[in-house]
Chains A and B, each alone.
Chain A
Amino acid sequence: MVEFTERKPSARWKFRPSAGLFHRMSAFLTLLLLIAAFSFGNAAFLSVNNGLTILLQTSVIGLLGIGMTMVIITGGIDLSVGSVLALSGTVTGMAVKAGLPVLPAMAVGVLVGAACGLFNGFVITKMRITPFVATLGMMLIARGLALQLTGAAPISQLGEAFGVLGNGALFRMVEMGANGFPKVIFPGIPYPVILLAVVALAAAYLLRRRQTGRHIYATGSNEEAARLSGVRVHRTKIIAYTLSGALAGLAGNVLMSRLITAQPSEGVMYELDAIAAAVIGGASLMGGVGNVSGTMIGAFIIGVLRNGLNMAGTSAFIQQIVIGFVVIGAVYVDQIRNRR
């Protein structure tokens, strides 16, 4: 006989934030503390210019993190996003070289990313390969393809138009100075930041207000129950992986555009940053838990840490160590809270 301890719904608290909200509040607090600490250490940290730099640097991890969040909520993982990013970026570069205008070329790149994700989804649902193994395979396949297609050489001289997405900005204000040199009044909002905001809003709408989003949570929470309740579990997973691949493709375009070069060896280990962003933001690798706003906070925690440590002259190696501890700490705090 199973011993059953009754759980009475507690009436101690009037305001009981949900587990997710609590996690986001603590993550957001951590972000504010980091910003305060870095500003205290270096006044230049809190400038408009540096803020925009952080936003720009975070946009790639943010895009990858949003796709990763959807996949993690279904109870899966996508290890291929760093490689898919490189493949998509190089395909875009090759398409531009082949004479395609920049926008259609970028669309091709995003489609290639989506196709990689679709393939992941099929391998996971129809061939019943675990997500870890399936996307590990794609990680090697996409990277190998990118290197093979380019002979491992970067594609440069892609033209000015190719660099607009990564380097351009909205509302940029420049004034001719009296000395004849242009003076930047407001550096503008970089396009990648606008793109990230649009994608984040769209993903939040999908997850919170659409049936597909609800099915993503249901699949990760209790797959068997979801299937018996009429949720098309396979279709839901395929959608999540395809979106993750497409967003990796988009991130690849942003990154390569910023470099104005298509680099087949870019994005190594980016999948780990994306996973870290989602996990710091409260997503659970067990599935069923996570959201876009949490992942955005997680991505900015990583971005602010990198930027702040850079400005403080800390080496890239130390940065890795710090971020590693932050990931463990974030999950530990969450567990303590859940154990209560």
Chain B
Amino acid sequence: MDPILSVRAATKAYGALTALRGADLTVARGEVHAVCGDNGAGKSTLIKLISGVETPTSGEITVKGRPVSFATPHDALEAGIATIHQDLGLAPRMTIAENIFMGSELVTRRLGLPLLDHRRMKEMAKGYLGRLNSRLTDMDQPVERLSGGQRQAVAISRALRWDAEIIIMDEPTAALGVRETAQVLELIGSLRAVGVTVILISHDMNDVVRIADTVTILSGGRTARVLRAGDTDAQGLANLIMHAGSLAEPA
């Protein structure tokens, strides 16, 4: 099957500093694909290229077989790629429904006057959260009252609202406790169940082994290894990342 997203020989230089020196990434439709690597390996830079925050110095990105070039995150979104940053990008004092429909509110007309369609937005918000098996029912709750896992569900629902086919999650469990981490991994599983492709950036090898299908290991700005997550365990993966440098550059 054709990959839904592929990055070929991507490089990115910031002046004299080269962050990526020819990274490859091939993501199959509907999988959970983890991108791992030590600090400075180029994970964030690679993700910035895919999410439209930065443009590559050279290299090619294709989505569903078509070459793309993103100037802004909005371009990436148009191509079906949504990014959920670690801070989630939620407005804490606004409600669940307001956050999910932020920037893409539904409008109806009554007596010729345009009005926000609160009722339909709440219904649809419930629908998105339902697809993630979330038990949140009160769409009028402000997001600041929610737990970390529930907030993650709201952020993912907003990506679904944007019809994202690929959702990039940047360190989704970094600040969470044990139970909430489990909730977030469940959310990622729910996304896979509804056919959404997930690209997961994580430092936590246990999370990666538990939820990912495929792992791409970066080192020194290059792709060092691509493997099935089932072929290794957390310790093995950690060893691979630590020794990836010698694999990538057999100098």
Instruction: Give residues in A with beta carbon < 8 Å to B.
Output: 2, 4, 6-9, 18-19, 208-211, 214-215, 217-218, 221-222, 224-226, 228-231, 288-289
Contacts and interface: CB of A to CB of B under 8 A. Distances in A.
B105 A225 contact: no
B182 interface: no
What 3 pairs between A and B have smallest CB-CB spacing? A221-B91, A229-B103, A225-B89
Contacts of A6: 147-148, 177, 179-180
A132 to B, nearest CB: 22
A8 B89 CA distance: 21
Contacts of A208: 116
Contacts of A209: 115-116
Interface in B96-119: 98, 102-105, 107, 114-116
Contacts of B142: 18-19
B116 A222 contact: no
B64 interface: no
B236 to A, nearest CB: 23
Given A4-B148, A222-B89, A210 B114 contact: yes
A229 B89 contact: yes
A2 B107 CA distance: 40
A231 B179 contact: no
B79 to A, nearest CB: 14
Contact of B94 (A4, A218, A230): A218
Contacts, number: 79
Given A6-B180, A211-B116, A224-B89, A218 B145 contact: no
Given A210-B114, A230-B104, A7 B89 contact: no
B92 A222 contact: yes
Interface in B79-93: 89-93
B147 A222 contact: no
23 contacts: A2-B174, A4-B176, A19-B142, A208-B116, A217-B91, A217-B98, A218-B94, A218-B103, A221-B91, A221-B92, A221-B93, A222-B90, A222-B92, A224-B89, A225-B89, A225-B90, A226-B103, A228-B89, A229-B89, A229-B102, A229-B104, A230-B77, A288-B94
B116 to A, nearest CB: 5
Contact of B180 (A4, A215, A289): A4
Interface of B: 73-74, 77, 89-94, 98, 102-105, 107, 114-116, 141-142, 145-148, 158, 174-177, 179-180
A112 to B, nearest CB: 29
Nearest to B106: A211
A217 B94 contact: yes
Nearest to B179: A6
Nearest to B117: A209
Nearest to B94: A221
A228 B51 CA distance: 11
A229 B146 contact: no
A6 to B, nearest CB: 6
Contacts of B105: 211, 214
Contacts of A230: 74, 77, 103-104
B94 A211 contact: no
Contacts of A231: 102-103
B226 to A, nearest CB: 29
B186 to A, nearest CB: 16
Contacts of A210: 114-116
Nearest to B158: A229
A218 B116 CA distance: 14
Contact of A225 (B102, B174, B176): B102
Contacts of A18: 142
A32 B123 CA distance: 39
B172 to A, nearest CB: 13
A54 B93 CA distance: 34
A2 to B, nearest CB: 5
Residue from A208, A209, A226, A231 with most neighbouring chain B CB atoms (10 Å): A209
Given A214-B116, A222-B90, A225-B89, A4 B175 contact: yes
